[in-house]
Amino acid sequence: MRRILSLWLPTFATDRVRRGLVPPLAADTPLLTRMADKGRLTVAAVNAAARAKRLVPGMGLADARALEPQVHVVDADPDGDRAALERLADWARRYTPWTAVDPSDPPGFGPKGIGGGPGLLLDITGCAHLQGGEHQLLLDLEGRLAKAGFEGRAAIADTIGAAWALARFGALLVAPPGGAVEALADLPLPALRLGPDLVASLRRVGLRRVGELMRQGTGGKSRAALAARYGAQVSLRLDQALGWVEEPLSPRRPPARHTARLTVVDPISTPEGLAQAVRHLLGRVAASLTAAGEGARSLELEAWRIDAGHDAPPQVLGVGASRPNRDPAHLWRLLEPRMDKLEPGPGFEVMAVSVTHAAPFDGGQAVLAGDGLGELAGPPLGGGLSGGNPVLADPPVAELVDRLGARLGQGRVLRLLPRQSWIPERAVRAVPAEAQDNAPQSTSPMAAPPAPAAPFLGNGAWPADRPRPIRLLPRPEAVEVVAPIPDDPPLLFRWRDQTYRVGRAEGPERLMPEWWEGGERRPDPNPEPRDYYRVEDGEGRRFWLYRLGLYHAGGPPPRWFLHGFFG
């Protein structure tokens, strides 16, 4: 049986305004927000004190001022209200992962009528015992909101419709499971989320209470007559409230399939306590992953501070694993280096670990500690999910890559792979070490001896017959040279105020610009050919110089650059 909590925030907009005012406004000061409506200023929302002075949303601002000259007027901010409501829905995830902003907004109902004002819906099925029962949860929620300056009314029932009605119109706050009929019978018709026009027409035929409508609608014949007379809306809302028609609740954020949360009485603030709590949660998530035959590719730790306001989002730590993993010890090693990013302050009272991305687990069989190297022994045969990436073939190495990536950032742990280009700076492709490699490669090149000389770029290696430096300057640096024209190597070059006399040289190796790179939007910045020379100075130091461009009669002389150092 589902249990839904509906939270009604009747004066959300004005409560928000009042919280933001400095100095704070007394609670009994009339307050309203105004908006422009069809060329005149009207009242958008009022607080309880203003409502008591007979100010209602929808009336002209001038009328409102005439009724109550002392009223405090602020501009309405619908977008800000909406954003704040969504933050509130995120905050409410401390009670359950399944929270949403109440979408109920029947036409013509809006903020003007009775029961106007936004609300939240929480699916608390199976969550209430964490707070000590449904009554405790209600009290806790309302108490926290009141402390934050929000008036809120919440009710719990089996269906969205029943909870919605009880929150706004009911005296009873928690309808027992299956007790929706009794709980709703005495409520007025607007409690069924019907528009004012429908309510008025039902009232004309003498129906005032939900119970009367229920009696009308129970028999098959009269039920059909009810729908025919007043439209499908009436019977639909009634069926939804009573649970005869399922009404879906779309969570604001999709809840993770594998999640564990921990609510503690004494807030946790010490590093040891946090570590213990997180490891406990990881163990529970791992058990859930094991049952599903899956491993976590990424997971999130969320922590709510005891003193966090309603719109303070939980503190979040996210980590990723290179291959699906469900070893709590490894997941903890990923989280551990980042735990110091949490700011417990006076302490966390709710913590949750959820798997944001799960994938089928192929890590092999867990074995009895044979070599003591980890839970898993031996790389999966055939590469498995590690694709062509030989680094990930070995679970301990993959976990090491995860640890390095978790602390340093995934973009800092790289594999440098060949790329089909003759231009030196383009010949290397840096991919994160944790990424799957789809390039055709033998499955285990690490065990194999060095590949035979590859004359072409095609088979995934740099050409062996082209000597390449071991240190390549990120940007080639201009040098002054003395070189015979047209294409002899330099005799002398000057780099960073030092002159080097060339003893031997080899070259040129001409690299033509690759016009197919870049395209029209990103034209090649160097459309001229480069002639590379290997030169050695008198002390055996080897440099890689190139001449950009060719000698033309009458044209500017080509420029020379230093690009790298040989070993």
Partner 1 sequence: MPAIPPPISEARPTACPEEGRPGAPLDRRHLLAVLREQVRAVEAPGMGRGVVPLGVAAVDAHLPAAGPGESGVRGLPRAALHEVAAVGALDAGAATAFTALLAARLAEQVRGPILWMTRAPDLYAPGLDAQGVGPGRLVVVHAACEVDLLWAMEEALRCARVGAVVGEAGDLDLTASRRLHLAAEAGGVPGLLLRLGAAKGAKRGVKNAGLKNMGLKSTDLKSTLASAAVTRWQVSTAPIQDDGSAPSAFTGPAWRVELLRCRGGRPGAWTLCERGGYEREGLRLEAAGDVALPALETPPPTSAVLPFTPALRVAG
Which residues face 303 on adjacent strands?
315, 351
Based on the shown chain and the rule CB under 8 A, indicate whether residue 414 belongs to the binding site for partner 1. yes
Region class of 427: left (phi > 0), else alpha (psi between -120 and 50), else beta: alpha
**332 vs 495 by CB, closer to partner 1:** 495
**Helices assigned H by DSSP within 186-343:** 196-204, 210-218, 220-230, 232-242, 271-292, 328-335
**165 vs 391 by CB, closer to partner 1:** 391
Question: Quick one: which of 254, 269, 289, 252 has its CA closest to 351?
Answer: 269
Based on the shown chain and the rule CB under 8 A, indicate whether residue 565 belongs to the binding site for partner 1. yes
**166 vs 398 by CB, closer to partner 1:** 398
- For 167, counting Cβ atoms within 10 Å of its Cβ (0-12 exposed, 13-18 middle, 19+ buried), the class is buried
Point out which span in 25-33, 79-87, 161-169, 464-472 binds partner 1 (CB under 8 A): 464-472
Say how many residues make up the chain: 567
Instruction: Please report, for residues 165, 258, 275, 330, 401, the alpha-carbon distance to residue 286 in angstroms, rounded to integers and kept in the order given.
Output: 40, 8, 16, 11, 20
Query: Three-state SS for 94?
Result: helix
Q: Which of residues 499-518 bind partner 1 (CB under 8 A)?
A: 503-506
Based on the shown chain and the rule CB under 8 A, indicate whether residue 498 belongs to the binding site for partner 1. yes
Distance from chain centroid for Cα 508: 53
* Angle, vertex CA 363, rays to CA 359 and CA 368, nearest 5: 140
Q: Which of residues 522-541 bind partner 1 (CB under 8 A)?
A: 534, 536, 538-541
Residue appearing with tokens 């029962």: 133
Q: Do 443 and 371 contact (CB within 8 A), yes or no?
A: no
Beta carbons within 8 Å of 509's beta carbon, 6+ residues apart: 466, 531, 532, 533
**119 vs 432 by CB, closer to partner 1:** 432
Based on the shown chain and the rule CB under 8 A, indicate whether residue 472 belongs to the binding site for partner 1. yes
Q: Which of residues 381-400 bind partner 1 (CB under 8 A)?
A: 390-391, 394, 396-397, 399-400
Based on the shown chain and the rule CB under 8 A, indicate whether residue 401 belongs to the binding site for partner 1. yes
Based on the shown chain and the rule CB under 8 A, indicate whether residue 542 belongs to the binding site for partner 1. yes
**450 vs 555 by CB, closer to partner 1:** 450
Q: Closest distance between partner 1 and the C-beta of residue 389, in Å?
A: 10
Would you give the DSSP letter of residue 366? B
Based on the shown chain and the rule CB under 8 A, indicate whether residue 446 belongs to the binding site for partner 1. yes
Residue 237 and residue 254: Cα distance in Å, rounded? 26
Q: Which amino acid is at 482?
A: V
**378 vs 529 by CB, closer to partner 1:** 378
**60 vs 445 by CB, closer to partner 1:** 445
Question: Quick one: which of 257, 246, 261 has its CA closest to 296?
Answer: 257
φ, ψ (nearest 5 deg) of residue 238: -65, -45
**496 vs 521 by CB, closer to partner 1:** 496
Distance from chain centroid for Cα 108: 35
Q: Closest distance between partner 1 and the C-beta of residue 541, in Å?
A: 5
Q: Closest distance between partner 1 and the C-beta of residue 372, in Å?
A: 9
Q: Do 463 and 455 contact (CB within 8 A), yes or no?
A: yes
Point out which span in 49-57, 145-153, 164-172, 426-434 binds partner 1 (CB under 8 A): 426-434
Q: Which of 141, 303, 427, 545 binds partner 1 (CB under 8 A)?
A: 427
Q: Closest distance between partner 1 and the C-beta of residue 386, in Å?
A: 13
Question: Quick one: which of 327, 8, 26, 17 has its CA closest to 153?
Answer: 8
Query: How many amino acids of this chain bind partner 1 (CB under 8 A)?
Result: 65
**332 vs 566 by CB, closer to partner 1:** 566
Beta carbons within 8 Å of 253's beta carbon, 6+ residues apart: 90, 93, 97, 99
Q: Which of 468, 494, 510, 559 binds partner 1 (CB under 8 A)?
A: 468
Q: Which of 244, 462, 515, 551 binds partner 1 (CB under 8 A)?
A: 462
φ, ψ (nearest 5 deg) of residue 384: 55, -135
Based on the shown chain and the rule CB under 8 A, indicate whether residue 451 belongs to the binding site for partner 1. yes
Query: What b/e readout covers 27-37, taking b as 16+ CB neighbours within 10 angstroms?
Result: eeebbbbbeee
Q: Closest distance between partner 1 and the C-beta of residue 244, in Å?
A: 60
Residue appearing with tokens 């926290």: 144
**91 vs 546 by CB, closer to partner 1:** 546
**70 vs 444 by CB, closer to partner 1:** 444
Residue window 325-364: x/- pattern of binding to partner 1, with contact defined by CB under 8 A: ----------------------------------------
Point out which span in 140-148, 318-326, 356-364, 449-457 binds partner 1 (CB under 8 A): 449-457
**119 vs 390 by CB, closer to partner 1:** 390
Residue appearing with tokens 């409690």: 191
Q: What is the DSSP string of 227-246?
A: HHHH-HHHHHHHHHHHTSS-
**408 vs 512 by CB, closer to partner 1:** 408
Based on the shown chain and the rule CB under 8 A, indicate whether residue 200 belongs to the binding site for partner 1. no
* Angle, vertex CA 34, rays to CA 28 and CA 40, nearest 5: 140
Q: Which residues bind partner 1 (CB under 8 A)?
A: 373, 390-391, 394, 396-397, 399-401, 403-404, 407-408, 412-418, 424, 427-428, 430, 433, 441, 444-447, 450-453, 461-462, 464-465, 467-474, 495-498, 503-506, 534, 536, 538-542, 564-567
